[in-house]
Structure formats: structure tokens, C-alpha cells
Structure 1
Amino acid sequence: MEFFSLSEPDRKEVINNALEAGPTIPFPNFSKLFKTWLKILTTLTEEQREGLFSAYIVEISQSPQKLITFNLDGILEIFLTLDENEKEILANTIKKIINNLDEDAKRRILVVIPDNAKKHLRF
């Protein structure tokens, strides 16, 4: 919740720090943190969830290489362990954000998302 009270530059810094640190965390530890984060996101309002995911997605669309260093197949596996309602909530928000990007940003995002993840997000 603290994220929403930060200034835009501070939000960007938090996101960049997370994107930089994520791949350096041993995956068993990362997977627990990431699953907890996803579960918490499903309890936020759609507006809050959209604001947080948008900030990440916009940053990744500007620098797609930041996502490449992550274990994307492992991240998808974590997502798939969520219950159906949680997966639906998150997938709908992510899809909405990506579909609202301009075509160039959307293309840059979709290039780095693995095909098996696109299938689960219904792209």
C-alpha cells in the first residue's frame, strides 16, 4: 500500500530496483516472495492492481531486456499454482493493461513474454 503514496520518480525507482534485484534472488526464495506478492495483488482493488501492474509493464515495455533475465518459465509455474479465481483476476488485469498500450509498446512486451504464458493470458 505504501507504493501508492510514493511520488512517480520514487515508484519508478522501486520498480527498477525490483526488476534489477529479482533475478539475483535464489529462485526457491524468489518463488515464495513472488507467489505471496501475486496473492496480495488479488486482494487489492482493480484500480490499485492496475496501477501497480501498469507501472511494471510500462517500465518493461521501455526496457524489455529487464524481463529477459528472469526465469519466466518458473514465474509462469508460480502463477499456475494460484487458484482459478486468482489467476483470472491477475490475467484480466494484465491483459487489459497490455491491450491499452500503444502498438509499439505492446509489441515490445509481447516479444519477451513466452508463448506458453501468452496462452494462459489468452493473447
Structure 2
Amino acid sequence: MSSTNNNVASNIIQILANLPDFLRKPMLQNRLKEFYAMSDEDRRETITMALSGAPMIDPNKLSVLFRTWLEVLSEFDAEKRVIMFQTYCRQILANARQIEKLDFKLLTATFLSLDQKQRERLTDSLQEVLFSFPNRNEILKLVPEDSLKAIGLK
């Protein structure tokens, strides 16, 4: 991916992260609805851009955005959550180096700050994807043990 695309992704993520919550949440809801209307190729490109842009964002801003994204994602039905996690898993395997730059401690703490019902919905969908994913061990090797414990995989 070109550095121009990385900058665009980083700028979009930065803008979303800087929005006040009352604007960020509906904006993310709309972005996710658009995501599900995309072709598989466009979904993959969107996820690749998000993965490449995320490490360039201030960690505290990223945490706020990640939390809102998780909250919104938890409101979608299980089928849509599975699509999201499958797409992320495929793109993580295709671009494993990108997630090495992510602060998993911060992202895990953000996930754990959700309410129990939200965490359960998300972990159920993620576990469903991982248990049926052919290369799940390659993905699991990329994720720190504390993060795997947080989603019930260790």
C-alpha cells in the first residue's frame, strides 16, 4: 500500500477520533453500514487502510475511536460481526507486519472497558470466526497472550 493511502487512512481515523462522542458514534454507524454494502474487495481495502493508519494515531485517541467502533459493532447482528472479523483476519494474515505496530495492551484494556453484554457479543462472533478460520493458529501467534485471555482464547 502506498504511503499516500496510509496518510489518507491515518487522516480519516484522526478525524473520527477527534469528533465528540455524540458525532463519532453516528458517523461510525454510517461507516459500518456502508462497509457492509461494499464488495469484498472494497472491504479488504478498507480494512487494510484501517490497519495501516491505526498505528499512526495518538494511542489515547485510537483507544477512544476503537471503543466507539466496538460499541457500534456490538449493536450489529452476529452475521455482520462475523463478516467484519473474517475480513480483519484475512487482512491481518495478508499484512501481518501491520499489527505488530499496534498497542495491544491499550486495545485490550479498551475492549475490557466495554460492558459485559457487548464483550460477550463480540467475543462470541470473534471466536466463531477463529474456530472456523483455516489459518487461525497463524493469527493467534500474532496476538499477545493477555489479549487472547481477554477474549477467552487462552
Is 1:121 the counterpart of 2:144? The answer is no
Report 1 or 2 for greater relative contact order, CA contacts < 8 Å, sequence distance ≥ 6.
Answer: 1
Residue of structure 1 equivalent to 2:112: 80
Residue of structure 1 equivalent to 2:71: 39
Task: Quote how far apart the aligned CAs of 1:117 are.
Answer: 1.3
Q: Taking structure 1 as the reference length, what is the TM-score of the superposition?
A: 0.94
Q: 1:99-110, aligned counterparts within 5 Å?
A: 99-102=131-134, 105-110=135-140
Runs of 4+ aligned residues of structure 1 deviating over 6 Å after TM superposition are none
Q: Taking structure 2 as the reference length, what is the TM-score of the superposition?
A: 0.75
Q: 1:58-77, aligned counterparts within 5 Å?
A: 58-77=90-109
1:14 counterpart SS class = helix
Q: Is the 8 A contact 1:61 1:106 kept in 2?
A: no
Residue of structure 2 equivalent to 1:94: 126
Q: 1:5-16, aligned counterparts within 5 Å?
A: 5-16=37-48
1:53 counterpart SS class = helix
Q: Is the 8 A contact 1:64 1:108 kept in 2?
A: no
Residue of structure 1 equivalent to 2:89: 57
Q: Distance in 2 between matches of 1:118 and 1:13?
A: 26
Task: Quote how far apart the aligned CAs of 1:65 are.
Answer: 1.6
Task: Quote how far apart the aligned CAs of 1:71 are.
Answer: 0.4
Is 1:28 the counterpart of 2:28? The answer is no
Larger radius of gyration: 2
> How many residue pairs end up in the alignment?
121
Unaligned 5+ runs, structure 1 = none
Kindly, what percent of the aligned residue pairs are identical?
27
Q: Distance in 2 between matches of 1:64 and 1:99?
A: 19
What is the RMSD computed on CA atoms of the aligned residues?
Answer: 1.0
